[in-house]
Each structure stands twice: as C-alpha cells, then as structure tokens.
Amino acid sequence: MPDTAPPSQEMLCQALELADKAVGFYAKAVADCPEALGREVFERLMADKKKQRAHIEEVYRNLQAGKAWEAACRLRDDEPVGMRGVFTTLVPGMPPGSAACMTVVGALSAAIDAELAALRFFHGHLARATDSVEKAFLTEMIRDQRGFHVLLSDTRYYFEDPQGWHLEKEGSGLDGA
C-alpha cells in the first residue's frame, strides 16, 4: 500500500465526521424549519450528503482493507447534478417568505459556513495529495461542496429578498411585472 494511505485514511475519517455533522444539521433543520421551501432544500441537501457520505465510507473501507487508491475509489461516472438550477425548480408555486424566514436564513447561513469549511478541508487535502485517483476523488468532493454552496446561497438570497431573487433569476418581480 502506498505511503499516503494512513494520511488518506485520516482525511477520509475526518471527511466522514464532517458529513455526519452535516447530515445531523440538515435533519434538525428539516424538523425545525417553518417554511416548506426551506424544508425541501434541507431535505435535498440531507439526501445528497448521505450519498456523499456513503461514497466516502466506501473508499475509506477499501483503503482500510489494503487496496490502493486506484482499486479503492470508484469515481462517479454520472454527471453531477447542477445545483444552480435545483433551487429554481423548487420555487414555482411556493409563497413568498414570511417573518419565519429569518430563522431559515440563520440556518442557511450556518449551513453555508459549514459547507465552506468542508470546501476548505478538501482543497487543503487536494494540495497535499500525490495519488492521481485521490486527487480525482478530492476534486469530485470539491465539486459537490461547491454545488451545496450554490444551492444554499441561492436559497438564502431568496429568503432574504424574494423580490430581488425573482428579478434576478426570472426577470420578473413577484407581481408578475
């Protein structure tokens, strides 16, 4: 096994902890969120984080079993979901936000901070990675984190300024003009 396996396993262990915290946070946000749209976004993120966690755990277990990165990591061959468009598909038919949105905005801000921390974590490890498959895996994780960040940022913007969001994203205001 390459000399990079123990640090790689430690990185994956930390990534699993980050994913577990994110899943727990999103589960609490779903339970506590007073807005249907916020709940839907948090449910989507929780499901995506669970998939990401399962992928990380699979790689971790394979490395623990003595496999090299090339054999341990099955990179996704599907195209990642473009998070930029996900929020736009959730908005039609949703009422504009209420005063309860400010609690949603706080949860979204905390989630954005957590996803940015995870993004920095994966970037830091990418800079130190030496195995090409490990680098590809970390690049995949970075792409996922960026997608989560885009979805969260777009959602927060909608809750902070629904009128501005509609003008920017759809070219019309809430009144249809």
* Domain ranges within the chain, ordered by starting residue: 5-170
Cα 145 to Cα 36, 44, 83, 84, 128, distances in angstroms: 24, 14, 10, 12, 19
Specify the pTM.
Answer: 0.78
User: Which CATH architecture best describes the domain 5-170?
Assistant: Up-down Bundle (1.20)
Q: What is the pLDDT along the chain (177 residues), one digit of tens a residue?
A: 454 447 888 999 999 999 999 999 999 988 888 888 888 889 999 999 999 999 999 999 999 999 888 888 877 665 555 554 555 555 555 455 544 444 788 889 988 999 999 999 999 999 999 999 999 999 999 999 999 999 999 989 988 888 888 888 776 655 555
Residue partners of 4: CB distance under 8 A and separation at least 6 = 69, 129, 130, 131, 134
Q: Phi and psi dihedrals of 68, rounded to 5? A: -75, 165
Q: Which two tokens mark 49?
A: 């984080």
- Gyration radius of the chain over CA positions: 18
The residue with tokens 């969260």 is: 152
Dihedral sign (CA 88, 94, 97, 101): negative
**Which two structure tokens, joined as six digits, stand for 35?**
């807005």
